[in-house]
Chains A and B, each alone.
Chain A
Amino acid sequence: MPGQVPEGATPSCWSCGTMRAVHFCSSCGKVQPPVPVDYFTFFGFPRKLNLDTAALEKEFYGLSRRLHPDGFGQADDRERAWSLEQSSMLNDAYRTLKDPIKRTEYLLRLEGIELEEQSKQATEKARATGELKKQVVPPDLLEEVFELNMHLEELRAQKKLGEDDPALLEEIGKAKLSLEEKYDALLNELKTEWARWDKTVDQNAADRRTVLDAMLDVLNRRNYIRNLVRDVNEAMEN
């Protein structure tokens, strides 16, 4: 049975009064009122990033059998409501933890780093005002991005005139391929940071902060490349 009874939860089952497990009573099996916990705690996992996804899936299936509303078709309103909340939390938690990027982003947020805020708000503002969004180009990409942007502008100009330049398309295609390789490589870089995190998770705050910042940096670079590839695809399609 994964996990300890979280803080804030009554330690005993509402139905039979014995010590409860996290989501349902270990004695009578009844579903328990949900308690707000983080997704790692929900599954009874430590807050580590190298995660056994096979074990996660097994746990997910097992908990689904116990918590899904289908099993409460004949139960009373209160239990039905708890099962709905518990199983939505289970699904949200599983969806987040099984994906390596979402898992990392979630951990950063848990650790108090608002990674999305900046880019998201900037994107919305750019959309609303029509201003160009300013993005910091990762230094190692400066040269490549500069050249690619020139090519893209050339391509757009040609398309307007209805011209076609196979050499230019090939050039852009090559650049795109190189970006995609870098994109994939970043996942491995991220995984190296995972290992550092998992080791420092119980260490001092300064070490933790260094690793968190490193992960944030990898994610930002990754997002940057993703947006760039999207721009390339759009330019080539239109």
Chain B
Amino acid sequence: MSTAYIVGIDLGTTNSLVAYMQGDAPVVIPGEDGLNLVPSVVALDEKNQIVVGNAARKYLIETPERAVYSVKRLMGRGVEDVQDELKLFPFQLADDLQEGEVLRIKIGERTYTPPEISALILRQLKRNAERFLGAPVTQAVITVPAYFNDAQRQATKDAGRIAGLNVLRLVNEPTAASLAYGLDKKKNGIIAVYDLGGGTFDVSILKLHDGIFEVIATNGDTHLGGDDIDNLLIAVALDDIRGDLGIDLRRNGEAGARIRKAVIEAKIALSSQPSAKLDVDLPGGKKYQREISRELFEQMMQPIIDRTVGPCKQALKDAGLKPEQIDEVVLVGGSTRIPKVRRLVQDLFGRVPHTDLNPDEVVALGAAVQANILGGGSEITKEMLLLDVTPLSLGIEVAGGVTDKIIQRNSTVPASATQYYTTQVDGQTNVAIHVLQGERELARDCRSLARFDLKGIPPMVAGMPRIEVKFLIDANGILRVSAREQRSGKEAEIDVQPTYGLTDEQVENMLLESYDYAEEDFRQRQVIEARREADTILAALGKGKKNPGWRELSSDERSRVETAEQALMQVKEGDDYHAIRGAIDELNQATMRLAELMMDSAVSVALKGKTMDGTDFEEGAQAGHPVAKADFE
């Protein structure tokens, strides 16, 4: 059994997080900036270096053509699916995009596929975790919207692989949230999870029974979330500006980004205030100012949040349950902070929703719980088991362009179906199968997943071969297909042409860091970080020597400090991580008493009403990382 860490990752439309199981509790791992949320923003800086997260946010405004956000909306989708998104989001598609190719987005002069951009975010989270845990991280559980189809799931898995992560499992976001909820509550009953995030909406109904989390039904909309509310407000603002000031800013990236930032701030403010002000500097020294009342805001977004009602009702119907049979409704996703959304949920299910969980973090925490289960479990998770479902029916195209459903939606996964095929012409050696996902009757209205070409069928009289094809949806919700010709017993060869998605070879060529180098890269980063820490502690010591406490030390104590200081200064220039780490620890030990004396003098200074300037020993003397405690009971 390996002791390597397996992390849980929430790869969100707006924000992403990484968490792990610390003893009995899942804990979010903060970034170097101390923040738990990593904005899902990727940009190129002035030196053409990739920056991710909070550091990338400023480029959304300064150089919008060199930054992307909400790329999750493009995962696993084709050019023809994203026309609507392109009107609302400043995505720039590559100019040389070929038909049938996976989308590529321009960032500055370069182009990236959505899985590659997601991989850059994942790599950042991986690094944050490695820095925090002090060990390489190569295995992860990543969450996806429950209503993600096969292509979107596959794209997420590819992103993990490109980032150098072995993705042990994709877990549905509302289900992950229920794990974090259930770990906490340990109650049996039926719960509904209403998850309205930045770009996706899911609703799942689960039965909790002695540690088994059985999803009964799930539904959703992978293009519905806080982004849509923002876009609506932006459209209103652009209209206002055109009407009142006579400027058309629809094609102005920078002004658009400023307006977007302002409306998001207003939206957030309106969750706690009766009104919010918009105040945006526009090109040419003009200003756009307006006040929005909560009442107007709620009126405007009503049509958007109303779109969550249908999926909720369908999920209840599929589960065969009435709202009053739901014991608890759990809210997940930042958009559920909006009071109007909470009222809608309350009306739908006829009960006050459970809001104790931090809606931004609960999915990542649940992913960490699942990671722990997959890693062999611990005392607290050993009774826990997740039984999830496939959100969409799986079908194959039959005569007349009709979809024949072979695995119904809401079937517990893994799930399988076996179909038999034969040939129509004498000596035919190939049979083509078109696999679809969706609920509609006609193949053209469903999502095309892939075309399978069964090859190498032994030549026989038409109708003689009997080819058994097994379709299996695994626990990740991803389809696997195998085929066998029964008369000859020969495994049929399958050629898969994914309708949307990268081939294995393409993924291989995109790997951000080969597995072979992962360890080495990690060492190098460790050395760099240890050096940085050494500089901080040495600088703090420099200040400490000016503190009155320094003179209170005995000469032995002082010389021990100075020896340790010299030693650290020497080794920190080298590449030996353990030597640097050891020297830091020694210096920390040697300065312990100095730190205490400084603390005492700081307290007495403070008591005398003086300032505490010059006593900032915090960073150096107290090594170790702040631990972000999970934000729920």
Interface residues of A (CB under 8 A from B): 61, 64-65, 68-71, 73-74, 84-85, 87-89, 91-92, 94-95, 124-125, 127-129
Give the shortest distance, in Å, between A139 (CB) and chain B (any CB). Answer: 30
Asked whether, in the complex, the Cβ of B2 is within 8 Å of the Cβ of A74, the reply is yes
B507 to chain A, nearest CB (A): 20
Contact present for A84 and B385 (CB under 8 Å):
no
Q: Which residues of B contact A127 (CB under 8 A)?
A: 400, 402
A71 contacts which chain B residues (CB < 8 A)? 385
Residues in chain B near residue A65, CB distance under 8 A: 212, 385
Of B399, B415, B473, B475, the residue contacting A70 (CB under 8 A) is B475
Q: Are B414 and A91 in contact (CB under 8 A)?
A: yes
Return chain A residues, CB-CB under 8 Å to B168.
73
Residues of A within 8 A of B474 (CB): 69, 84
B376 touches A88 (CB 8 A): no
Q: Contact: B385 with A128, CB < 8 Å?
A: no
> Do A124 and B414 touch (CB < 8 A)?
no
Bound form: Cα–Cα A95–B416 in Å: 11
How near does chain B come to A118, taking the closest CB pair, in angstroms? 15
Contact of B375 among A68, A73, A84, A128 (CB under 8 A): A73
Determine whether the beta carbon of A124 is less than 8 Å from that of B402. Answer: yes
Q: Which of B400, B412, B474: most chain A Cβ within 10 A?
A: B412
Decide: A89 and B475 in contact? CB cutoff 8 A. no
A128-B414 in contact given A70-B385, A84-B472 (Cβ < 8 Å): no
CB distance from A58 to the nearest CB of B (A): 10
Q: Which residues of B, 152-189, contact A by the 8 Å Cβ criterion?
A: 168-169
Asked if B387 is at the interface (CB within 8 A of a chain A CB), the reply is yes
Question: Is the Cβ of B212 less than 8 Å from the Cβ of A91?
Answer: no
Q: Which of the four size classes fits the interface of chain B?
A: 20 to 34
CA distance A74 to B6 in the complex (A): 12
Decide: B387 and A64 in contact? CB cutoff 8 A: yes
Expressed in whole angstroms, the Cα–Cα distance for A124 and B414 within the complex equals: 29
Are A61 and B212 closer than 8 Å at their CB atoms? yes
User: Closest CB of chain B to A25's CB: distance in Å?
Assistant: 19
Q: Mark B115-142, 1 if CB is under 8 A from A, else 0.
A: 0000000000000000000000000000
List chain A residues, Cβ under 8 A from B204.
none
Contacts A88-B414, A88-B416 given: A68-B400 contact, CB under 8 Å? no
Q: How far is the CB of A103 from chain B (nearest CB, A)?
A: 15
Which residue of the partner chain, among B373, B386, B414, contacts A84 with CB atoms under 8 Å? B414
Give the CA-CA distance A128 to B399 in the complex, in Å.
7
List the A residue with the shortest CB-CB distance to B374: A73
Give the chain A neighbours of B630 by CB distance below 8 A.
none
Q: A91, B415: Cβ atoms under 8 Å? A: yes
Q: Does B278 contact A (CB under 8 A)?
A: no
A71, B387: Cα distance in complex, Å: 12
Query: Is B212 a contact of A64 with CB atoms below 8 Å?
Result: yes
Residues on B with beta carbons closer than 8 Å to the beta carbon of A64: 212, 385, 387
User: Which chain A residue shows the least CB distance to B383?
Assistant: A65
**Contact partner, A89, options B1, B387, B416, Cβ 8 Å:** B416
Q: Which 4 A-B pairs have the closest CB atoms?
A: A128-B400, A73-B374, A88-B414, A91-B412
Residue of B nearest to A126 (CB): B400
Contact A95 B412 (CB under 8 A): yes
A69's nearest neighbour on chain B, judged by CB, is B475
CB distance from B220 to the nearest CB of A (A): 21
A150→B347 CA distance, assembly (Å): 41
Given contacts A73-B168, A95-B411, 4 further A-B contacts (CB under 8 A): A70-B475, A84-B475, A95-B412, A124-B404
Distance between Cα atoms of A129 and B404 in the complex (Å): 17
- Chain A residues near B398 (CB-CB < 8 A): 124
What B residues does A74 contact at CB under 8 A?
1-2, 374-376
The residues of B that contact A94 with a CB separation of less than 8 Å are 412
Closest A-chain residue to B407, C-beta based?
A92
Smallest Cβ-Cβ distance to B370: which chain A residue: A70
**For chain B residues 440-490, which have a beta carbon within 8 Å of chain A?**
472-475
Complex contacts, A68 vs chain B, CB 8 Å:
385, 387, 475
Closest CB of chain B to A158's CB: distance in Å? 26
Q: Which residues of B contact A70 (CB under 8 A)?
A: 169, 370, 373-374, 385-386, 475
A39–chain B nearest beta-carbon distance, Å: 13
Shortest C-beta distance, B406 to chain A (Å), equals 11
Contacts of A87 in B (CB 8 A): 414
| Chain A residues whose C-beta falls within 8 Å of the C-beta of B373 in the assembled complex | 70, 73
- Pick the contact of A69 from B212, B402, B412, B414 — CB < 8 Å? B414
Smallest CB-CB separation from B211: which chain A residue? Answer: A65
In Å, the complex CA distance between A87 and B388 comes to 12
Q: Which residues of A contact B416 (CB under 8 A)?
A: 85, 88-89, 92
- The distance in angstroms between the C-alpha atoms of A132 and B414, with both chains bound, is 38
Any chain A CB within 8 A of the CB of B326?
no
B413 at the interface (CB under 8 A from A): yes
The answer, among B209, B414, B472, B475, for a CB contact under 8 Å with A61, is: B209
User: What is the bound-complex CA distance between A71 and B385, given in angstroms?
Assistant: 9
B321 to chain A, nearest CB (A): 15
Please name all residues of chain A whose beta carbon is closer than 8 Å to the beta carbon of B386 when the two chains form the complex. Answer: 70
With A and B bound together, what is the CA distance between A95 and B410 in angstroms? 10
Q: Inside 8 A of A129's CB, which chain B residues have their CB?
A: 400
* A69–B376 CA distance with the chains assembled, in angstroms: 12
What CA separation (Å) do A124 and B412 show in the bound complex? 28
Most buried by A among B209, B376, B414: B414
Shortest CB-to-CB span from B73 to chain A, Å, is: 30
Which of A85, A91, A125 is close to B413, meaning CB atoms less than 8 Å apart? A91
**Interchain CA distance A202-B530 in the complex, whole Å:** 77
Among A61, A73, A88, A124, the residue within 8 A (CB) of B415 is: A88
